[in-house]
Structure 1
């Protein structure tokens, strides 16, 4: 049975009581647990965290590989009245030091290998350290707490952005934000109790964490996976009979290039994408490789969680669309005059409604820049997230991503989306991945620099020919820098900030 769209949020830890008590909830290296055990262990971890002297409102950070403990911490912290701060395990000690200091964490739960990389002063005074290998098992022991009576509007998590501009900032999320996000996604993905979700995305990433929450909301089970190669993902899908697989575009590019045995393809019911738009050629490749799986193209940002999704029935006809609003989200396209943009007219994507986060942790200035009063046309009102993303809406109400305002390339008097240039490169068949950057040019204002990972020995010639035949002169890159691989950030997305820094050096 598909999860009903109940708009009334509950405390986040109540997700542990949603599934049938004897139904499978999690499979990991230690074995399996059912939903009754999930609830019991969440309660035990919550009680043991409080027994360490923590009090309601304290921040608990986790910096560790995917494990049973890191899977259950979001619910356990919520049950204890604590605020969970998941840290991407790929981050290095300087970024971790900033997050610990900025959040005022009272406890850091970390794997020994990562903890050993911390330098003096990285862990603030007053922030205790719990080594998972040494003390983690004890958190599962003893009498536990029952489901909480937390105020759904209370803060329960701080997710730190990747920090592509400036230092990472912590997005404050309430029980209601995460609960309604889980219910919304579980509903539109049509998740059910027999679904098995492979959790390959990092839990510090909003959708990475939602893989857990939405699956448990539907009474299904999760399989956490830390992978080294795309082949590890393929093997896990086959081994565990995975029905739901999520990725970001760079991972989907790699998975589409991998060798998939029929036994791995058959169980898949749905594929989901976020963290950037899938190129049209990649959509075609995925649809051919997984013809019986529904492909969900989605868009969102941490400050407003998930924003839009495209009905899989429309993906073949509209492969370049990010769809329309998900349940519980109000999405508006606002023009420069502050009014709703006409169909086909570019405008800023604005998010309103109960999925909008509570701002940035201890950062009133940056909160005021992004979280502003909703447009006059909003039915939800209140505070809205002004995304800084430019989109268009067609006559059917479907949205198309144009580009981020801070990434747009202004050349020869034209304002170009880097996405348009990147997709043209991929459409040539000579390029697997591409990132377009605007660099200063005395004559043009900005010139186009393209970083590309090629396909074939004659990639440069094929790309040049394709651009000459298909793009006007002002859209032609001044330079193409070929790479065997392109850098990724901690969430697995192509690292535009790193490439831009290189381009402007």
Structure 2
């Protein structure tokens, strides 16, 4: 299959693309989730699509999944679009309040989840028009259904909605087309130089664009994915050895854990490729990774869910340019622009603007925030239409390499997760006696950033109630590592909390830690 033809194919063609590369008996999935050849994957996708299609949903209905990394979690990203539906994967780490928001916001017609996760939901969490079904029942239904062939969907047909946190408000759903997912898979397979011999350990959640692409890019290359839900770094080490893994994707906190783990030299030597996104690698961490995995190429990457992935640094430049974001990935055009849309000069800071076919279709049911981020491409772009104006300030050197300068918004990035301060603050302020709250991201050697919560309380017992409520309502990665009480927050001229001053002086403002 020629690269020039790939943009014409729906994402649900991927099993056939794999078969064209390695044959029907080539292994698409391996590991404890169970093995599937490419032929078996094609049949499973077809039968699952047939089962979904038999349920009477209108075309374009949203199908949510809240699953562990079993076969069904691997199949649904292809099966739902094949049935003319839109897949909405939900992060397994989220708790009922966040799941309820995603179900309501997406207008999901069906939620497929593990029995334990479905049992954790409370009355009112699932909209009355949304059915629920356990994963084992879904697998049984799919097995008994007739298979649908690959769809004839157009490249711009919506295939998935991935929810990502913003700096304000609740998570927003990024709308991704067949072309977005297909070209993202092809792009990554190309620049990572994936081959049918590669075995990729899928440690990242499939609800993340980076995690889901572990599946899609591997299948585009005809390789094998080994899904893994892990608890400790030792679990990853064992899986690399047991499954003869060649490729591992991670975020900086995971790499910190893995470099501290006990790696037999032969096991570490198996890895041929490690990729990083969700935060920058430090020079020191790059050095530790290079020493621990002597046979592995290191691929630092920068991405936006709104445009999947933007840049990567080729392994041959990592040693000489360790602080660079690299250059545009295939099928992406990356510009550095002034506020008026003109291109910056070399080493002049500007906004990173992502143009081209990887740009998503905007935020689901949110025209206001869509208009803020998705705007007409600048005149210097080779592409017409909409671009993603990232809000990130970068600079481009004389060699065309990009360097990150700063982030416009207030997002907290902790352990590879994007956390909305507003979401944490709203959860805190829902507790009786908590009058005001400000969540901050502070530097942390292991997490990248840790969440610190400053609160003003008005009644006794509020702190104990706050701690208990946050544990119940927030996923673990959102729970503050430190809660501190303030007597008053500084205000700006409009009477609002001056967040810039709070961020600068939070240690002076806050009292003793009460977390």
For the aligned pair, the TM-score class normalised by the smaller chain equals 0.7 to 0.9
Q: List per-residue Cα deviations over 1:285-310 (Å, max 9, x = no partner).
A: 11111121110000011001110001
Equivalent residue, structure 2, for 1:154? 157
**Counterparts in 2 of 1:374 and 1:270: CA distance versus 1, 3 Å:** same
Which residue of 219, 228, 233 corresponds with 1:230? 233
The answer on 1:91 being equivalent to 2:83 is no
1:460-479 per-residue CA deviation (whole Å, 9 max, x = no partner) reads xxxxxxxxxxxxxxxxxxxx
Q: Deviations over 1:48-102 (max 9, x none)?
A: 1111222321100001111100111000011111100000010010110010001
Answer whether contact 1:201 1:491 (CA < 8 A) is retained: no
Task: Tell me which residue corresponds to 1:363.
Answer: 366
- Cα distance per residue 1:108-167 (max 9 Å; x no partner): 000111111111110001100011134433323332011111111100100000345310
Residues 1:247 and 1:359: Cα distance change in structure 2 (over 3 Å): same
Q: Please list the CA deviations of residues 261-283 of structure 1 after superposition, one character each: whole Å capped at 9, or x if unmatched.
A: 12321221100001111111111
1:417-442 residue CA offsets vs partner (Å, 9 max, x unmatched): x99xx9xxxxxxxxxxxx9x9xxxxx
Q: Following the alignment from structure 2 to structure 1, what is the Cα–Cα distance between the partners of residues 310 and 226?
A: 25
Q: 1:141 and 1:49 mapped to 2: Cα distance?
A: 12
Match in the other structure for 1:18: 17
Give the equivalent residue in structure 2 for 1:8. Answer: 7
Looking at structure 2, the residues matched to 30 and 214 of structure 1 have their Cα atoms a distance apart, in angstroms, of: 19
Partner of 2:444: 452
For structure 1, which runs of at least 5 residues remain unmatched after alignment?
409-417, 423-434, 438-447, 455-486
1:250 and 1:494 in contact (8 A); partners too: no
TM (norm. structure 1) is 0.81
| Partner residue in 2 for 1:442 | none
Per the alignment, do residues 450 and 169 of structure 1 end up closer, same or farther by CA in structure 2, a change over 3 Å counting?
A: closer
Q: SS at 1:172's partner residue? A: strand
Residue 496 of structure 1: how far off its partner (Å) = 11
Aligned to 2:170: 167
Query: What are the superposed Cα offsets for residues 369-416 of structure 1, whole Å, 9 maximum, x if unpaired?
Result: 0000111111112100000001111111000111101249xxxxxxxx
Matched, 1:214 2:217: yes
Q: What secondary structure is seen at the aligned counterpart in 2 of 1:8?
A: helix
Match of 2:398 among 374, 378, 395: 395
Flag the 1:451–1:333 CA change in 2: closer, same or farther, 3 A: closer
Q: Return the alpha-carbon distance in structure 2 between the equivalents of residues 208 and 94 of structure 1.
A: 23
Aligned partner of 2:61 in structure 1 is 58
1:253 aligns with 2:253: no
Contact 1:352–1:380 under 8 Å retained in 2: yes
Distance in 2 (CA, whole Å) between partners of 1:103 and 1:176 is 21
Question: In 1, are the aligned partners of 2:7 and 2:182 still within 8 Å (CA)?
Answer: no
8 A contact 2:31–2:243 mirrored in 1? no
Match of 2:105 among 102, 113, 122: 102
Would the alpha carbon gap of residues 226 and 3 (structure 1) be closer, same or farther in structure 2, given more than 3 Å must change?
farther
Correspondence for 2:386 among 378, 383, 387: 383
The counterpart of 1:289, out of the listed 289, 292, 314, is 292
State the distance in 1 between where 2:213 and 2:479 align.
21
Q: Which residue of 2 aligns with 1:467?
A: none
Where does residue 488 of structure 2 map in the other structure? none
Aligned residues: 438
Q: How far did residue 222 of structure 1 move?
A: 0.4
Whole-Å separation in 2 of the counterparts to 1:395 and 1:496: 42
1:347 counterpart residue number:
350
The equivalent residue for 1:176 is 179
Alignment of 1:317-328 (within 5 A): 317-328=320-331
Contact 1:338–1:375 (8 Å) recurs in 2: yes
Q: Structure 1 residues 163 and 371, CA, compared in 2 at 3 Å: closer, same or farther?
A: closer
Match of 1:241 in 2: 244
Give the gaps of 5 or more residues in structure 2. Answer: 422-439, 447-470, 485-498, 511-515
The answer to whether the Cα contact below 8 Å between 1:162 and 1:491 also exists between their aligned partners in 2 is no
Give the CA RMSD over aligned residues: 2.9
> What residue is the counterpart of 1:457 in the other structure?
none
For 2:81 and 2:24, the matched residues in 1 are separated by: 20
Q: 1:45 aligns with which of 42, 45, 48?
A: 48
Q: Which residue number corresponds to residue 471 of structure 1?
A: none
Q: CA deviation at 1:5?
A: 6.0
Matches within 5 A, 1:396-475: 396-407=399-410, 450-453=442-445
Which of 303, 324, 331 is residue 300 of structure 1 equivalent to? Answer: 303
**Distance change >3 Å, CA 262–CA 156, structure 1 → 2:** same
Q: TM-score, normalised by structure 2?
A: 0.80
Determine helix, strand or coil for the equivalent of 1:235.
helix
Taking the aligned partners of 2:313 and 2:330, their CA distance within structure 1 comes to 12
CA contact (8 A) 1:93 1:118 kept: yes
Question: 3-state SS of the aligned residue for 1:348?
Answer: strand
Structure 1 residues 319 and 491 mapped into 2: Cα distance closer, same or farther (>3 Å)? farther
State the secondary structure of the residue aligned to 1:306. coil
Residue 330 and residue 275 in structure 1: after superposition, are their counterparts in 2 closer, same or farther (change >3 A)?
A: same
